[in-house]
Structure 1
């Protein structure tokens, strides 16, 4: 399987996604669009992963390269590729499907629960999870809900935490991939985001929590997307 990932900041890396790729010996390539690197053709990958970042999709004039990412995601979806958007990436996937990103009612930074919707009980990935489970939040914005998609989760501070479009396109406003090392990097580079608020934890709270169970959920959704791709390849042979 061929994976292409898009990175939006030096401190928002793949986290445990990298170890999952290595464990499965998948091919991987990446684009750092914030450095001006060019995106690949859609034929170059089976799974597209759009990572988080400090940029805002509501300010495309300030970050014009995000328009190219939206176009790539739209093309990938139309070509039947698997697509996973995380945080900023979820907002980009929403935009690719015609749903405008919006400011979230609350800024969320920390480990807080999300609550699955009734529709999540029939979702191939979410049906494996509890009705409420902890995730890592680090956002001010949230994705729109694309027409034809399924809302899968919400939280006390944000009504749109996850959606699915078709059987292999997911947008997760929250993070499941962040490792302790990556958490420390984000704290170092984004301390202004830790200003006290209803759903903002302190740096000390963030670094002292066990993220093992959260990372395991990231592995489950990646395994599911890989299975979708495998089934498609079998059908085409």
Structure 2
């Protein structure tokens, strides 16, 4: 399988997605937006598109961030969907999927940073790609917003701080507001670049300490993600 990653920042790594692709022997290409690399013109070169997170919003303009072109990413997402490719979005990526399909990003009821449980909805518990998750399942978080919902979208998981943690837009298109790709190294990268954000968020209901995030074992949620990706890519 040919997998293409869209990575927005040097400190927002592909994490467990990269590990999965390597373990399965998939052909991986990537666009590192922070290096001003160009997005693919079309979906001919990949079978799966994975769009990762970042501090930007789908509403961020080129004037605000010169290397992030929200409209161009939405166009690539739409081309991938039209071509019948698998599309997975994480955090910002999930919000870009919603926007690409006409559903505006929304502010989450709570800011979440760290690891907190998500609970499958009835639809999620019965979904063949997610039934192995168990419920609740503790996963990673780092967000303020959440993806918009199209009329066809189905919410598959929620959390105490955010009602839209996993969204299915179609059989091949999924948005994860949560970060199941987090590894110890990925989280450390975020910590190192988020000192001010963490200081400002301290004391809010769903904010873990740096020590708690560093001590958490991310392996179980990574394995749940890998099994989902295996089933999705069959």
TM-score, length-scaled by structure 1: 0.92
Alignment match of 1:91 (pick from 95, 99, 114): 95
1:140 aligns with 2:144: yes
Alignment match of 2:176 (pick from 164, 172, 176): 172
Partner of 2:33: 33
**Which stretches in structure 1 are left out of the alignment for 5+ residues?**
228-237
Deviations 1:67-119 (A, max 9, x none): 11111101111111000001111101111111100111111001001111111
**Which stretches in structure 2 are left out of the alignment for 5+ residues?**
none
Alignment match of 1:212 (pick from 209, 216, 219): 219
Partner of 1:231: none
Runs of 4+ in 1 over 4 A off after TM superposition: none
Partner of 1:55: 56
Higher normalized helix content (fraction of residues): 1
Pairwise CA distance, 1:140: 0.7
Inter-partner Cα distance in structure 1 for 2:166 and 2:19: 23
Pairwise CA distance, 1:221: 1.9
Q: Secondary structure at the match of 1:164?
A: strand
Q: Secondary structure at the match of 2:149?
A: coil
Contact kept, 8 Å, 2:88 with 2:174, in 1: the verdict is yes
Inter-partner Cα distance in structure 2 for 1:77 and 1:51: 17
Residues paired across the two proteins, number: 227
Inter-partner Cα distance in structure 2 for 1:133 and 1:34: 32
Partner of 1:234: none
Do the aligned partners of residues 34 and 66 (structure 1) sit closer, same or farther apart at CA in structure 2, a change above 3 Å counting? Answer: farther
Inter-partner Cα distance in structure 1 for 2:56 and 2:81: 23
Q: Secondary structure at the match of 2:196?
A: helix
Inter-partner Cα distance in structure 1 for 2:16 and 2:119: 23
1:201 aligns with 2:202: no
Partner of 2:13: 13
Inter-partner Cα distance in structure 1 for 2:106 and 2:3: 28
TM-score, length-scaled by structure 2: 0.93
Partner of 1:161: 165
The root-mean-square deviation of aligned C-alpha atoms, in Å, is 1.3
Pairwise CA distance, 1:175: 0.5
Inter-partner Cα distance in structure 1 for 2:45 and 2:4: 8
Pairwise CA distance, 1:178: 1.0
1:149 aligns with 2:153: yes
Deviations 1:161-203 (A, max 9, x none): 1111221111000011111111111100012232211000110
Q: Secondary structure at the match of 2:59?
A: helix
Q: Secondary structure at the match of 1:44?
A: coil
Partner of 1:233: none
